[in-house]
């Protein structure tokens, strides 16, 4: 049973916002949300600190949306973030939270994109702006952005913005906001450097801090130094052959790299699938079925593509390249060792990437030593073969095919045993069925030659 005091419904929020939260799967508040939302909704300035992944975006997002007056097209909320990636993430979350309200305009203003289109979007009006300090200040200086009607200013990852040298830009921006705006300061670490700003600019702020709860999952993190780029792929092979995970994800930083790595793994007799954001929904769904039913053991993915991936148990996560963002790293490794299990996270680090490792060590407050790779002798081993194979049947719900019919056809006269059949997924016009790899030929014959619902359907094996 959930604690009713942690129920979003206890908050003074519009019913559209509340019902949308449920559709997003947000049922109860995380601790930092439960602590920070009441004072935020009461209009107070708030300093909030909680670890990465604790739900800070939803916390300040609801704070921003609760004060929005849609009748006005002035900029009413501004979120400053340290990097473009984080700004994009925050803007995405704000749009999801706001989707039940009519036409909330959320605009991102970050460097690396041309100024002109951003200026044009500003002229069309935006309710909420999310951006990096440098670019937001530039628009202010050029008169393209007017913050005189601002209600709420959020400094997300305020500590990191200071570390990155954004103090002057932040102060210049704050100076352009009305004196009585609400100021919200969110961070993952307790930073002394924030104090002076907070004292000067906030009015009797409420401070809320949530310390890490005890967590019984154990993720063993390992880091490996590679001499140069040409050593990277072999290092991954050695780790895969040494750890021998039944299911694992290899994270890459670009979609091109996911394709290259998956192809090279398949050439080396592994069973890998490349998952990236450019895939059509159908292809993505098919790959995920193959992975989830045990027909492929390695998913090579970008962070974007892996978002929302719901895989119960991964034995290991490999970072082919260490993530550019600390929070991305934490989310990646959190995919292994879920729910009390244990998991392994292996990260490859080149000399050029060493500073990211140092930053991560700093952030985790631990020393992170690199280890030698498993010896070259492991390259003699052959890769693990997935236990299952997948057959596609040319009939689905529209043809009234149910899982039981498929199971019946496979195990009927002369067929295979029930325990050789794995997951069955029935779609609109087709179905995927997993069978043990060693009986795949017999299963295919059985489906292709037998009858199902009194008809025969096409059946074929799919590999990716």
Residues near ligand ADP, by CB under 6 A: 26, 29-30, 33, 50, 52-58, 327
Q: With binding defined as CB under 5 A, does residue 332 bind Mg ion?
A: no
Stretch that binds Mg ion, among 9-17, 54-62, 256-264, 372-380 (CB under 5 A): 54-62
d(CA 445, CA 440): 9
Closest to ligand ADP by CB, 50 vs 409, is 50
Q: Does 160 bind Mg ion (CB under 5 A)?
A: no
Size of the site for Mg ion (CB under 5 A): 1
Supply the minimum distance, in Å, between the C-beta of residue 384 and ligand ADP: 31
391 forms bridges with which residues in the sheet? Answer: 433, 461
Q: Which does 145 bind (CB under 5 to 8 A by kind): ligand ADP, Mg ion, none?
A: none
Q: From 51-59, 74-82, 128-136, 368-376, give the range in contact with Mg ion by CB under 5 A.
A: 51-59
- Contact by Cβ (8 Å): 201, 183: yes
Residue 399 interaction partner, one of Mg ion, ligand ADP, none, beta carbon < 5-8 Å per kind:
none
Q: Which does 257 bind (CB under 5 to 8 A by kind): Mg ion, ligand ADP, none?
A: none
Please state the closest distance from residue 389 (CB atom) to Mg ion, in A.
41
Name the residue among 285, 295, 287, 270 with its Cα closest to residue 421.
Answer: 295
- Is residue 205 a contact partner of residue 44, using CB atoms and an 8 Å limit? yes
Distance in Å, CB of 156 to ligand ADP, minimum: 7
Residue with smaller CB distance to ligand ADP, 140 or 154: 154
Q: At what angle do helices 84-98 and 15-23 cross, to 10 degrees?
A: 110
Pure H helices in 26-142: 31-41, 56-66, 84-98, 115-124, 133-141
Residue identified by tokens 């005890």 is 214
Which does residue 26 bind out of Mg ion, ligand ADP, none, counting CB within 5 to 8 angstroms by kind?
Answer: ligand ADP
The minimum distance between CB 57 and Mg ion, in angstroms, equals 5
Q: What are phi and psi of 65, to 5 degrees?
A: -70, -30
Residue number, 58 or 98, with CB nearest to ligand ADP: 58
Q: What does each C-alpha distance from 85 to 65, 147, 174, 462 come to in angstroms?
A: 22, 23, 22, 36
Among residues 90 and 314, whose Cβ is nearest to Mg ion? 90
Quick one: 290 or 305, whose CB is closer to ligand ADP? Answer: 305
Q: Mapped to the 3 state alphabet, what secondary structure does 359-414 carry?
A: HHHHHHCCCCCEECCCCHHHHHCCCCCCCEEEEEECCCHHHCCCHHHHHHHHHCCC
**CB-wise, 79 or 409, nearer to Mg ion?**
79
56 vs 332, which CB is nearer to Mg ion?
56
Distance of closest approach, residue 177 Cβ to Mg ion, in angstroms:
21
Burial of 46 (0-12, 13-18, 19+ CB in 10 A): buried
Q: Which does 30 bind (CB under 5 to 8 A by kind): ligand ADP, Mg ion, none?
A: ligand ADP
Are the CB atoms for 126 and 107 separated by under 8 Å?
A: yes
Sign of CA dihedral 35, 39, 41, 44: negative
- Give least dist CB 138 to ligand ADP, A: 25
Closest by Cα among 234, 291, 293, 226 to 268: 234
Query: Taking the complex as a whole, how short is the minimal distance between the CB of residue 33 and ligand ADP, in angstroms?
Result: 6
Q: Cβ 13 to ligand ADP, closest distance in Å?
A: 13
- Answer for which of 49, 56, 160, 321 binds Mg ion (CB under 5 A) is 56
With respect to Mg ion, which residue has the nearer C-beta, 93 or 392? Answer: 93
Cα separation, 96 vs 116, whole angstroms: 26
| Interface positions with Mg ion (CB under 5 A) | 56
């Amino acid at each position: 049973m959930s604690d009713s005091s942690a129920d979003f419904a206890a908050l003074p929020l519009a019913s559209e916002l509340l019902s949308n939260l449920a559709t997003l799967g947000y049922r109860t508040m995380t601790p930092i949300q439960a602590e920070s939302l009441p004072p935020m909704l009461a209009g107070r300035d708030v300093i909030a600190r909680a670890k990465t992944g604790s739900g800070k975006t939803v916390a300040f997002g609801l704070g921003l949306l609760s004060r929005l007056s849609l009748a006005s097209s002035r900029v009413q909320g501004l979120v400053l973030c340290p990097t473009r990636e984080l700004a994009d993430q925050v803007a995405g979350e704000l749009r999801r939270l706001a989707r039940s309200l009519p036409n909330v305009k959320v605009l991102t203003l970050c460097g690396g994109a041309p100024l002109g289109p951003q200026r044009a979007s500003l002229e069309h009006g935006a309710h909420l702006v999310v951006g990096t300090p440098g670019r937001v200040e530039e628009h202010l200086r050029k008169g393209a952005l007017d913050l005189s009607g601002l209600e709420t200013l959020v400094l997300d990852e305020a500590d990191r913005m200071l570390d990155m040298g954004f103090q002057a830009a932040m102060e210049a921006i704050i100076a352009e906001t009305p004196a009585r705006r609400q100021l919200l300061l969110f961070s993952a670490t307790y930073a002394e450097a924030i104090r002076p700003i907070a004292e000067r600019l906030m009015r009797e702020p409420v401070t809320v801090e949530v310390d890490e709860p005890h967590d019984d999952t154990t993720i063993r993190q390992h880091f490996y130094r590679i001499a140069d780029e040409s050593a990277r792929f072999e290092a991954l092979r050695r780790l895969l052959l040494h750890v021998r995970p039944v299911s694992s994800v290899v994270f890459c930083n670009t979609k091109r790299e996911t394709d290259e790595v998956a192809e090279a793994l398949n050439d080396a007799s592994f069973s890998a699938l490349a998952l990236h954001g450019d895939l059509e929904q159908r292809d993505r769904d098919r790959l995920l079925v193959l992975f989830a039913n045990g027909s492929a053991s390695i998913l090579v993915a970008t962070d974007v593509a892996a978002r929302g991936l719901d895989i119960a148990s991964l034995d290991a996560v490999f970072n082919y390249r260490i993530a550019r963002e600390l929070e991305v790293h934490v989310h990646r490794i959190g995919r292994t060792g879920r729910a009390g299990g244990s998991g392994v996270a292996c990260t490859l680090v080149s000399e050029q990437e060493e500073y990211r490792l140092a930053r991560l060590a700093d952030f985790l407050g631990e020393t992170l030593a690199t280890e030698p790779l498993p010896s070259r002798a492991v390259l003699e081993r052959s890769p693990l073969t997935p236990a299952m194979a997948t057959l596609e049947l040319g009939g689905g719900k529209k043809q009234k095919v149910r899982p039981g019919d498929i199971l019946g056809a496979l195990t009927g006269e002369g067929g295979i045993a029930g325990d050789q059949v794995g997951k069955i997924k029935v779609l609109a016009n087709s179905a995927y069925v997993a069978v043990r790899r060693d009986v795949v030929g017999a299963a295919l014959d059985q489906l292709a030659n037998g009858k199902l619902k009194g008809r025969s359907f096409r059946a074929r094996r799919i590999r990716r």
